[in-house]
Chain A
Amino acid sequence: MATTSPRNKAPAKQSWYKRNEIAITPWLFLMPAILMFTLYVVFPIFQSFQISLFKWDGLGSLNTHGKYVGLDNYEKLLTRDRSFNTSLWNNLKWLIFYLAAIPAGLCIALFLNQTVRGIRLYKSLFFFPFVISQIVVGLFFTWFYDPQYGLFNGIIGFIGFEPINVLGDPNLATYGIIAAGLWPQTAFCMILYLTGLNSVDPEQIEAARLDGAKGLKMLWFVILPQLRPATFIAFVVTVIGSLRSFDLIAIMTNGGPFGSTRVLSFYMFEKSLSEYGFKMGYGAAIAVILFLIMMVFIGYFLWKTYQDEKTTNQ
């Protein structure tokens, strides 16, 4: 205050802003987004941690109607809840089989990376499933698997097999849903690889050709290393997508038959907001566990980004 000129207030204030403009501007620009993001994303994460320590039906406020139970919810989940076990195993199945989208996407990308007439249209038609909502994809595949009129059984019946009720069989249903999920996910990986293939260095390929590399050898030693950024993104997005899977399960089996297709995200939803009663505390504990699993991959992504930042800023 003492340093600014005492003549009148307005110009003094302006000059203070002017002098610190570069320091203040970014914060002014960040303010609205940080406020909203904190309110809707950052805060709720901590609140969920808190809620998971309570027994609470979601009515009234947590402090007056909730009952503090410490780590009881977690103890029950990890030791006495068989549905939780099933969900966790299914999450693991999703994680592993969903990764098939990456090689499948690469194969399609290699198949389509040509310059014949109409190839652009083919590329977009192959990408098409990614644009459709998972709900509609789920409906498509539910009808596709239908034991009575579904095309799937039409085909295997044609080859001479007995009809299979894929989504009605506790041992098969999860795989049936994962297959449905692979359809859009493969399309996504394909487009990443198509873009990646576009920017592969042609001189390196020529050089490798002169050295006699071709086919799979070329792919493995020359092409794939250059596609690493695409593979990285495909990996991160696929893993996170697999842990987030909810829509397909909700629409195709609603967790059934006999709860055999539940995953953590679905089980959490079911516990917190379904006809079986609102067990918010228990649900929050499931969400926290899912979050911690996910944090491993998020951490990996952030670490990689941080390494990139360090190298580009040097």
Chain B
Amino acid sequence: MFPKPIEKSSRAWQLGYQALLPLAMLLWLTPLLAVALFSIRPDADFITGNYWGWPSSFEMIKNYSMVFTSAMPRYILNSFLITIPTVIGALMLSCMTGFALGVYKFRGNLLIFFMFIAGNFVPFQILMVPVRDLTLDMGLYNTKTGLVLFHIAFQTGFCTLFMRNFIKALPFELIEAARVEGIAEWRIFWYVVLPLMKPAIAALSVLIFTFIWNDYFWAIVLTQGENSQPVTAGITSFNAQYRAMYHLMSAGSIIAALPPVLMFFLMQKHFIAGLTLGAVK
């Protein structure tokens, strides 16, 4: 293990380390803590200029319930209605592509794989005008469906990279054994490979959930207004509505950030596996 385990050093070092940890963490999370502090202040504090002192009263419930009486819950619902179908769609497609590219040897295999990887890294801007046009032509501009369809297509690139590498690492003898038994290929996919992919599916779903929840660019390119915009785009109109009311803006942005944060803390193991498994073994 590197660096040297702290238990092996002197008592003073150990205590020093233990004391440094929370300090470093507080320093690291300062921007977040500052906003959290704002979000429980009364508006009177902002008028009197009491920004960093002790709050004159704690208005957490009042501020946060104000957020819930605005359009915010609507935006959050939209975010869920965009994010969840995208996760399901992208996973379905990429389980299939991952299987096809990971198990079969055929001409063009690597080429198709590289197409998915390269597509996943292109700048969004080069897709913007044509995708916006396409969505308009399909009559899906300013709908959640239009946004979901694009997200599924785009995320399939990253998911394929991940799934294909995962399946490639599975023992190939399993598939050969099934073939010897004369089992149809689609049954091999369904009964042999898919059950083994559960960890990859879990990891990717948490990761894609976070990516899509946090998307802003496509939300403003393909949607407008309360009916279809997700919370990342909604937060700007929320802030326009409560301009200069920092206690409400802070509370609003904390709520907007919350779902992926909860997801991360609940499924941390899968999240980190997802982030690193595709990359670092």
Contacts and interface: CB of A to CB of B under 8 A. Distances in A.
12 contacts: A39-B153, A40-B131, A47-B129, A58-B133, A115-B7, A124-B265, A131-B257, A135-B256, A140-B35, A151-B31, A284-B129, A290-B126
Interface of A is mostly: helix
Contact of A134 (B125, B127, B131, B214): B214
Contact of A143 (B35, B125, B134, B216): B35
Interface residues of A, number: 102
A140 B31 contact: yes
A21 interface: yes
A270 to B, nearest CB: 11
Given A115-B7, A149-B246, 13 more contacts: A30-B101, A32-B93, A48-B130, A113-B1, A116-B6, A134-B216, A135-B216, A136-B256, A140-B34, A144-B31, A273-B128, A284-B126, A306-B110
A199 B277 CA distance: 12
Interface in B80-112: 93-94, 96-97, 99-101, 103-104, 106, 109-110, 112
A233 B104 contact: no
Contacts of B114: 302, 305-306
A44 B131 contact: yes
A207 interface: no
B17 A244 contact: no
A37 B131 contact: no
A268 interface: yes
A129 to B, nearest CB: 7
B157 to A, nearest CB: 7
Contacts of A188: 275
Interface in B20-60: 21, 24-25, 28-32, 34-35, 38, 46, 49, 51-52
B229 to A, nearest CB: 12
Contacts of A40: 127, 131, 134, 149-150, 153-154
Given A45-B127, A128-B32, A141-B31, A115 B5 contact: yes
A51 B156 contact: no
Interface residues of B, number: 100
Contacts of A23: 106
Contact of B129 (A37, A51, A125, A297): A51
Interface stretch (B65-73, B181-189, B196-204): B181-189
A22 B127 contact: no
B216 A247 contact: yes
Interface in B194-250: 210, 213-214, 216-217, 220-221, 232, 235-236, 239, 246, 249-250
- Nearest 6 CB-CB pairs, A to B? A133-B214, A44-B130, A40-B153, A26-B100, A29-B100, A47-B130
B106 A183 contact: no
A27 B129 contact: no
B153 A151 contact: no
A217 to B, nearest CB: 12
A131 B35 CA distance: 16
A41 B257 contact: no
B158 to A, nearest CB: 11
A286 interface: yes
Interface string A290-302: 1100100110011
